């Protein structure tokens, strides 16, 4: 019988003496941000540390790679307090942030309740996370950090604020949420070939490409009975033209033809592939449909990245 060790908690102050110089620097590294990304369902990029907002400095400011929204992270290697809660709201306002992440050693009940209240009483675009940072080791092993989510956005409450008399719209929202929840399970079962996105009632699901200029978007178009997987270029016609110059090579590598929409006169450009078979009233082919969608999304991401 194998030896079984005992899990013991390590004081995080033993690992990071100073929030700014130690913990923030550690968290800003790509491999550690990846761990946080898994927790919050985003892909943080363009990371800046110690960003001034008036006389104060926000620990970390980043962008979500696919949506472009601003995300702030405030670190506090001690128990929560009113001062840091006020700073988070000040930073959010000053930086027009949409996601606020408060990482602490200990979340006190009154501040947990405050974050819960903010999530329940702000609009759909504003999201607050309260996360405790802990560390553990087994015997003489190296300590391993662990993020433990205390409070996060309550999607059900947020969605319930959207009133509509259109029962078809409400049904579509529910079907999209169910689709993305199952889709995430398939992504996990396949070893997570890309970062999970939070399941929502939105018709799209974004896959990062390593740049803020473009990403792979998966769109559910139930009225047309199809899923569209596309390389979405937000505002860079030169990038579209670069891809277009290699159109034959790209399509040959993919093994299928694409629809190339430069969309002159608009900021965005799109390079699309259509997968037929989507029907919100019949889920019998969902597993096959989702696996095919993942195959296409991964192949498009990996192929287009070679020409960036």
Where do the structural domains in the chain lie, given as residue ranges?
7-159, 165-305
What is the model's pLDDT at position 256? Answer: 96
pLDDT in tens, 128-137: 999 999 999 9
Please count the other Cβ atoms lying within 10 Å of the Cβ belonging to residue 286: 17
pLDDT band at 6 (very low <50, low <70, confident <90, very high): confident
Which one is predicted more confidently, 67 or 269?
Answer: 269
Please count the other Cβ atoms lying within 10 Å of the Cβ belonging to residue 213: 16
Range 7-159: architecture per CATH: 3-Layer(aba) Sandwich (3.40)
pLDDT band at 1 (very low <50, low <70, confident <90, very high): low
Q: What is the mean pLDDT of residues 106-113?
A: 94
Q: What are the structure tokens assigned to 134, written together?
A: 């802990």
Determine which of 1-5, 13-17, 42-46, 84-88 has the lowest per-residue pLDDT on average.
1-5
pLDDT band at 2 (very low <50, low <70, confident <90, very high): low
CA distance 133 to 280: 40
Average pLDDT along the chain:
89
Identical fold between 7-159 and 165-305 = no
pLDDT in tens, 72-97: 999 999 999 999 999 999 999 999 99
CA distance 181 to 155: 13
pLDDT band at 166 (very low <50, low <70, confident <90, very high): very low
Contact by Cβ (8 Å): 148, 138: no
Supply the CATH classification number for the domain 165-305: 3.30.1460
């Amino acid at each position: 019988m194998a030896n079984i060790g005992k899990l013991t908690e390590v004081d995080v102050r033993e690992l990071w003496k100073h929030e700014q110089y130690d913990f923030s620097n550690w968290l800003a590294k790509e491999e550690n941000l990846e761990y946080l990304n898994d927790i919050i369902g985003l892909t943080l990029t363009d990371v800046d540390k110690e960003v001034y907002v008036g006389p104060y400095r926000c620990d970390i400011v980043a962008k979500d790679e696919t949506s472009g929204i601003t995300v702030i992270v405030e670190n506090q290697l001690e128990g929560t307090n009113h001062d840091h809660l006020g700073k988070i709201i000040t930073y959010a306002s000053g930086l027009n942030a949409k996601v606020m992440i408060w990482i602490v050693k200990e979340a006190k009940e009154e501040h947990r309740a405050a974050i819960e209240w903010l999530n329940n009483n702000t609009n759909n675009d504003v999201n607050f996370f309260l996360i405790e940072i802990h560390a553990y080791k087994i015997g003489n092993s190296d300590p391993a950090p662990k993020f433990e989510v205390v409070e996060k956005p309550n999607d059900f409450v947020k969605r319930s604020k959207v009133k509509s008399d259109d029962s078809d719209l409400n049904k579509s929202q529910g079907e999209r949420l169910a689709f993305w929840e199952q889709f995430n399970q398939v992504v996990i079962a396949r070893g997570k070939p890309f970062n999970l996105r939070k399941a929502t009632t939105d018709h799209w699901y974004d896959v990062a490409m390593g740049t803020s200029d473009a990403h792979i978007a998966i769109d559910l178009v139930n009225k047309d009975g199809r899923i569209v997987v596309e390389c979405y270029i937000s505002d860079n016609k030169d990038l579209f033209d670069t891809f277009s110059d290699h159109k034959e090579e790209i399509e040959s590598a993919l093994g299928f033809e694409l629809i190339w929409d430069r969309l002159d006169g608009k900021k965005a450009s799109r390079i699309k592939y259509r997968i037929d078979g989507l029907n919100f009233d019949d889920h019998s082919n969902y597993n096959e449909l989702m696996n095919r969608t993942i195959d296409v999304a991964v192949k498009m991401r990996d192929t287009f990245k070679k020409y960036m």
